[in-house]
Amino acid sequence: MNIFVVNAGSSSLKYQMIDMELEIVLASGIVERIGIEGTTLKHHANGEDKVIENASIADHNEAVEAVVETLLSSEYGVIESIEQIGAIGFRIAHGGERFSDASLIDDLTLQAIRENGELAPLHNPVSVVVIEACKRIMTDTPMVAVFDTAFHQTLPSKAFLYGLSYDAYTDLKIRRYGFHGTSHKYMVMQAAKMLGRDIGELKLITCHLGNGSSVSAVKNGVSIDTSMGFTPLEGFVMGTRCGDIDPAIVQYLMKKKDMDIEGVIDYLNTGCGVLGLSGKSSDFRDLWKHVELGDERSMIAIEVFCYRVKKYIGSYVAAMNGVDAIVFAGGIGENDFGVRGLITEELEFLGVDIDREQNNSRGVQKIISTPDSKVAVMVVLTDEELMIARDTLDICSRVGEVHRDAV
């Protein structure tokens, strides 16, 4: 059966068509710069790339229409009719406290996604538009919402509450939600498989390190803490985000830099992190190139990043009273062996022993600790789209809803 996976960003729409029998990607693509000049549709299928520059796509509604048309086209298509789509899985940024699992999209779910738009204003409203566009074109196809926050709904109150007054939580829903849940869940499942152990008996620290990064403590398959909070701005230093800071800095910046609150929030999201520290780039490949040329601030930025990740790892070992494996994923986690080396050095007290030769590779899923290491360290090639497709299939099977012609 084919599952169509849709991931809508504020100005983009990513998609994959996955044949779930063998878990093979039949087609994938992205529409970028939606609503901005120079909209592009990049589609990959049957070993070929199709790129439409300056596509006439005005909004997310038209983006859905263009993607479906491409999937059905005789030249680059992978399906002959929309009935060959068994179900659609949507990545939804925020499920609030309502969703601790993926959910079949009915009117109530759609309403809840809309209401959670308050918590994720750049993402949830756009997802609603995309779901409605899909409903118009594929009326009878079951649709599932897979929430980025759902995996972390298991956090106990001692981990999700801020030290604010309690009514900030009860009245305003201000709490730590956590994000990247789909990736952390995939890492946990894959790590258990690679270790040949039961998820239920493992203490794992999963590090999703990309432009946006987060670390989670997962005990017996359950997320008990995670570094991102009310928004993805919390946590360690990221590509362009500041991560944890003293909240009093906000007012100080407003005064000293004559900024309004929107300006400060934008600065904390887009002008800080390793980009702000280095003054060079948010991309770790660029940072290492600058380091080779002797740029000290690029090295400092990398060191701050690695030190912060290491501190989260330490705190999660304490939170779980131990750890069996540390798992790396995301663009940096999967590829940057220099960063993995810096994060895991001087963790001998924990019993971490990295095999330098094994660590010295990019984009390979494997264990990079020595056989004697008390804590396994591993690289997992995360696959959020596949995880969304699996969750979609799982929900549809549970409620007995799969497109009848697609089975």
Backbone angles phi, psi at 71, to 5 degrees: -65, -25
| Surface-to-core class of residue 370, CB atoms within 10 Å of its CB (0-12 exposed, 13-18 middle, 19+ buried) | middle
Tell the smallest beta-carbon distance from residue 283 to ligand ADP (Å). 4
Q: Which stretch binds ligand ADP (CB under 6 A): 44-52, 74-82, 249-257, 332-340?
A: 332-340
Sign of CA dihedral 165, 166, 169, 175: positive
Q: Which stretch binds ligand ADP (CB under 6 A): 6-14, 77-85, 112-120, 207-215?
A: 207-215
Query: Which residue is associated with the tokens 């987060």?
Result: 214
User: Which residues, numbered 230-269, are part of the site for ligand ADP (CB under 6 A)?
Assistant: 239
**Does the protein bind ligand ADP through residue 285 (CB under 6 A)?**
yes
Is 148 labeled as catalytic in the residue annotation? Answer: yes
Q: Which stretch binds ligand ADP (CB under 6 A): 24-32, 292-300, 324-332, 398-406?
A: 324-332
End-to-end CA distance of the chain: 5
Q: Single out the residue of 84, 211, 231, 269 in contact with ligand ADP (rule: CB under 6 A).
A: 211
Q: Single out the residue of 95, 125, 181, 210 in contact with ligand ADP (rule: CB under 6 A).
A: 210
Give the span between the Cα atoms of 123 and 120, in whole angstroms: 6
What angle separates helix 337-344 from helix 296-320, to the nearest 10 degrees? 50
From the candidates 140, 148, 266, 372, give the one annotated as an active-site residue: 148
Query: Which one, 109 or 213, has the nearer CB to ligand ADP?
Result: 213
Q: Which stretch binds ligand ADP (CB under 6 A): 106-114, 195-203, 312-320, 330-338?
A: 330-338
Give the span between the Cα atoms of 278 and 157, in whole angstroms: 37
Tell the smallest beta-carbon distance from residue 220 to ligand ADP (Å). 27
Pairing of strands 325-329, 2-8: unpaired
CB neighbours of 392 closer than 8 A, spacing ≥ 6? 3, 5, 87, 88, 89, 102, 144, 146
- Site residues, ligand ADP (CB under 6 A): 210-212, 239, 283-285, 330-332, 335-336, 362
Could you list the active site residues? 148
